[in-house]
Structures are given as structure tokens and as C-alpha cells.
């Protein structure tokens, strides 16, 4: 168990990616503190983890409320002794599918503002504690539009860019204190809740295009993202900081990368 004796705090935990990552951390031996704006969302995941033999607690925390974030972390440290991992996965309220020229200013700005604020509040609160400990890992999550121009994603792309830039800057400041800061860039998990709930033909077509834009011709699963997060939080990744780990199955490197499969037929 590579995360044995680690205490990890997650924001925005529910039935989708946040829950998958929390379960993976618990399976790796960490004690996980799961938070959400609605306690029931985090509680369900915590109950499942405990039923499987893991250690988990659920708390109601608004990750956009500075005082709530600080008070919660203080309680965690008093109870657990250390704060080893912080990972913010809250929904940033982005609107996609509308051209930028047709989008309202509020729809564009909202995800940028939300992402920047919540990452700043949770990461800096964790950073202050971890700097005193001389250890800890702050993780964040973005997606393909942070690395390439991707159409019809509204303010989501700029929000991802802001998170990655913030992660790098924070890593530079916290590194001398023994704290690592790493971002994960996902290509979008095919088994996440937004994908599972998609029913409209145009949405399915969008997901198919995303898959075709990858080199591997498949999108990463939630487990793929969770496994990467577990690795980055472990001592195995002790020299990794200040970077973004790309798990887009090659989308960032080559949008619309297409190689006919017949090209590899034996002759």
C-alpha cells in the first residue's frame, strides 16, 4: 500500500471522478477526508470505502468559502496529525457547446473565476500547513483544452490554463519547503458521469470526435486518472513537481491524429 499512513483531503467528491479517486487512495492505504457542498454526495462514497475496509470520513465543505476550507483543514490536522495530500475536483460550472462569439460574458467568465478561486483557496490553505510539516502534495486536474486550441468549450479552456499556470507558480514557491505541486491533464473519462448521462446525438458525436482525436483511439477511464493521482501522491513520485502530467491518450500532442490501421498490416 503505497499511501499507507497518508491523510488525503478531497473537494467535490461524488459518484463520478472524485469518488473514483477517493476509492483508489483508500485502496492504496490512505485515510481519506471527503468533502462536498452537499454532505450526502461525499457520505455515500465514504460509506462505500468503509464497507470495503478503508478509512474515510465525509464532511460538508464549500470549497469556495475561505473560512470553511481553513476550519476544515484545521480539524483534519488536529484529528489526523498531518495533511499529506490535497486534491480539488469540484464542478466549475462551465457551459460548453456554444461558440465564444455567441456566449454571454457571464457564461464565459464563471468557470474561469470559479476554478481560479477554489484552487487558490484550497491549495494555499493546504500549502501553509504542508510547508510547516516540510512535506505534502497538492494535486489539481485540467483537461485537453489547456494544451491545445479546442473549439466550443467556452470558458473551460481558459479555466484549465489558469489552473495549470497557478499549479506551476505554487510549486515554485512551495518546493523549497518540501511540498510538491502537480497537475493532471485528462482527456475526459468515458465512464465519468457526464459521459454516462449523455443521450443527445450531438453529445455522442462530440464524445466520438474526442476519442478519434486521441492517438490511442480511446479515452482514459476514471481509474486511469485515479491511478495517476495515487502515484503522484506517493513517495515513488518524490522528484516530480511543477509539471502537468498528460493523460489525454495523446490528444494534446496531436489533435486529429489519424493513422489508418491498414498501414500496420503485415505484408
**What is the mean pLDDT, run by run of 10 residues, along the chain of 267 residues?**
97 92 98 97 97 98 98 98 98 90 96 98 98 98 89 93 98 98 87 60 71 85 95 98 94 63 47
Domains of the chain: 7-264 (3.40.50.720)
Yes or no: say if 194 and 240 are a contact pair by the CB < 8 Å rule: no
Question: Among the residues of 57-155, which ranges form H helices?
Answer: 66-80, 105-133
In Å, what is the CA distance from 107 to each residue of 92, 119, 151? 11, 19, 15
The pLDDT of residue 259: 52
Compute the distance between CA of residue 263 and CA of residue 75 in angstroms, rounded to an integer.
59
Cell of 189: 473519462
Yes or no: say if 14 and 45 are a contact pair by the CB < 8 Å rule: yes
Cell of 73: 483543514
pTM above 0.85, yes or no: yes
Amino acid at each position: 500500500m503505497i499511501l499507507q499512513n497518508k491523510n488525503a483531503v478531497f473537494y467535490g467528491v461524488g459518484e463520478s471522478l472524485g469518488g473514483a479517486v477517493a476509492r483508489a487512495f483508500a485502496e492504496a492505504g490512505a485515510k481519506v477526508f471527503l468533502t462536498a457542498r452537499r454532505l450526502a454526495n461525499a457520505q455515500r462514497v465514504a460509506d462505500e470505502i468503509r464497507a470495503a475496509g478503508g478509512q474515510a470520513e465525509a464532511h460538508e465543505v464549500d470549497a469556495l468559502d475561505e473560512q470553511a476550507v481553513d476550519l476544515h483543514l484545521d480539524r483534519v490536522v488536529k484529528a489526523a496529525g498531518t495533511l499529506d495530500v490535497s486534491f480539488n475536483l469540484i464542478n466549475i460550472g462551465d457551459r460548453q457547446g456554444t461558440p465564444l462569439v455567441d456566449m454571454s460574458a457571464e457564461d464565459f467568465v464563471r468557470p474561469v473565476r470559479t476554478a481560479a478561486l477554489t484552487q487558490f483557496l484550497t491549495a494555499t490553505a493546504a500549502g501553509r500547513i504542508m510547508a510547516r510539516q516540510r512535506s505534502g502534495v497538492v494535486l489539481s486536474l485540467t483537461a485537453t483544452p489547456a494544451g491545445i486550441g479546442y473549439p466550443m468549450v467556452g470558458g473551460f479552456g481558459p479555466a484549465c490554463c489558469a489552473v495549470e499556470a497557478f499549479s506551476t507558480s505554487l510549486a515554485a514557491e512551495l518546493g523549497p519547503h518540501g511540498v510538491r505541486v502537480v497537475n493532471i491533464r485528462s482527456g475526459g473519462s468515458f465512464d465519468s458521469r457526464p459521459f454516462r448521462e449523455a443521450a443527445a446525438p450531438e453529445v455522442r458525436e462530440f464524445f466520438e470526435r474526442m476519442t478519434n482525436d486521441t492517438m490511442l483511439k480511446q479515452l482514459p477511464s476514471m481509474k486511469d486518472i485515479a491511478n495517476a493521482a495515487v502515484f503522484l501522491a506517493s513517495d515513488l513520485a518524490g522528484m516530480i513537481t511543477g509539471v502537468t502530467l498528460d493523460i489525454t491518450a495523446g490528444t494534446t500532442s496531436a489533435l486529429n491524429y489519424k493513422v489508418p490501421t491498414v498501414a500496420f498490416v503485415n505484408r
